[in-house]
């Protein structure tokens, strides 16, 4: 089954230059070249230090607007660089959606770095979450796909996914899932969440250090366990231990929250394992995550 949505609009470099010339003319003469795409956005490198991010499908427009509204304020206090918008773009001739110019963060996508080599990112990622996951104000976005909400809403689909995976240890995984479902729910104020904190949204520098956190398209508020799933999404057992120890030194994290976080990791891992036939790196990530949740 394919996971990567098809682009709903063609975005040639000439269109990006036209939008820049119209809305941010001081940037329009910079060198521009394609820099890849993800689920939601096309990326264009703009000079040595910037990147233009433009939604490639309509559903991502609202996500871009939320990033533009909230991220510059939330991330201003963070030590770790992020893809928060530096300039905001609006619909223009030939392009119907909002778009942004962000800083270019030099390094490798974390998904291309083996798990064991991500260990140096464990402490700084824990510090990032301790700084980022602050109480969200009234009106903060709520995830349209339920991230930050109760795990029980994912019960049926997760069981179906596990049943569809030919070699998955379904019984062992369901035991972990049932433990996560049984954990007490988050009852404290909603916190800010990245919403999609997997390795492809981390930029790693030389030696595996954390250079930046990117792609806040799933920015939302709710249960911090959604982001703490990074313990299993990103790290091996050694890195997970460092990540958890560092985070607990910075703020209390109870056993119930870690149990829900492991459930969130299983939910995200099973989705990748069941739906990434056209994306080998994400298929491998999904299978790694399902193994990782059984290690603890």
Q: Are residues 98 and 117 part of one domain?
A: no
Please give the pLDDT value at position 4.
Answer: 67
pLDDT at residue number 122: 98
Query: For position 279, what pLDDT does the model report?
Result: 85
pLDDT mean for each 10 residues of the chain (296 residues): 74 98 98 91 97 96 95 94 97 98 97 97 98 96 94 97 94 97 97 97 97 95 98 98 98 97 98 86 96 95
In a shared domain, residues 145 and 267 = yes
Domain membership flag for residue 7: no
Q: Are 107 and 204 in contact (CB under 8 A)?
A: yes
86 in a domain, yes or no? yes
User: pLDDT at position 296, please?
Assistant: 83
Say what the pLDDT of residue 37 is. 85
| Residue 17 belongs to a domain | yes
CATH at 68: 3.30.200.20
At residue 5, the pLDDT reads 76
Total domains, the chain: 2
Q: Where are the alpha helices (DSSP H) in the chain?
A: 13-23, 59-75, 122-132, 155-164, 170-182, 225-228, 230-234, 237-250, 255-275, 280-292
pTM tops 0.85: yes
On whether both 154 and 200 belong to a single domain, the answer is: yes
Q: How far apart are the first and last CA of the chain?
A: 30
CB contact at 8 A, 141 and 221: yes
Are residues 70 and 115 part of one domain? no
8 occurs within a structural domain: no
At 233 the pLDDT is 98
């Amino acid at each position: 089954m394919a996971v990567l949505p098809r682009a709903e609009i063609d975005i040639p470099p000439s269109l990006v230059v036209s939008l820049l010339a119209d809305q941010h003319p001081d940037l329009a003469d910079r060198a521009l070249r394609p820099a890849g795409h993800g689920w939601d956005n096309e990326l264009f490198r703009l000079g040595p230090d910037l990147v233009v991010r433009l939604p490639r499908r309509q559903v991502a427009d609202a996500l871009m607007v939320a990033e533009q509204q909230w991220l510059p304020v939330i991330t201003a206090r963070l030590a770790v660089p992020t893809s928060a918008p530096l300039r905001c773009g609006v619909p223009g001739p030939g392009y119907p959606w909002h778009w942004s110019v962000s800083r270019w963060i030099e390094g490798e996508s974390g998904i291309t770095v083996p798990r064991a080599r991500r260990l140096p990112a464990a402490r700084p990622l824990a510090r990032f979450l301790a700084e980022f996951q602050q109480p969200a104000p009234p009106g903060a976005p709520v995830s349209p796909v339920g991230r930050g909400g109760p795990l029980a809403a994912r019960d049926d689909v997760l069981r179906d996914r596990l049943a569809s995976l030919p070699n998955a240890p379904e019984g062992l995984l369901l035991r972990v899932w049932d433990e996560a479902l049984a954990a007490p729910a988050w009852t404290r104020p909603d916190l800010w969440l990245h919403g999609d904190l997997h390795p492809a949204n981390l930029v790693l520098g030389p030696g595996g250090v954390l250079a930046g956190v990117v792609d806040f398209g799933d920015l939302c508020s709710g249960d911090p366990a959604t982001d703490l799933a990074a313990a299993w999404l990103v790290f091996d057992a050694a890195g997970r231990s460092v990540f958890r120890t560092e985070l607990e030194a910075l703020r209390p994290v109870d056993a119930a929250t870690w149990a829900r976080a492991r459930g969130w990791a299983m939910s995200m891992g099973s989705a990748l394992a069941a739906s990434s036939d056209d994306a080998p790196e994400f298929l491998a990530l999904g299978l790694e995550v399902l193994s990782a949740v059984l290690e603890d």
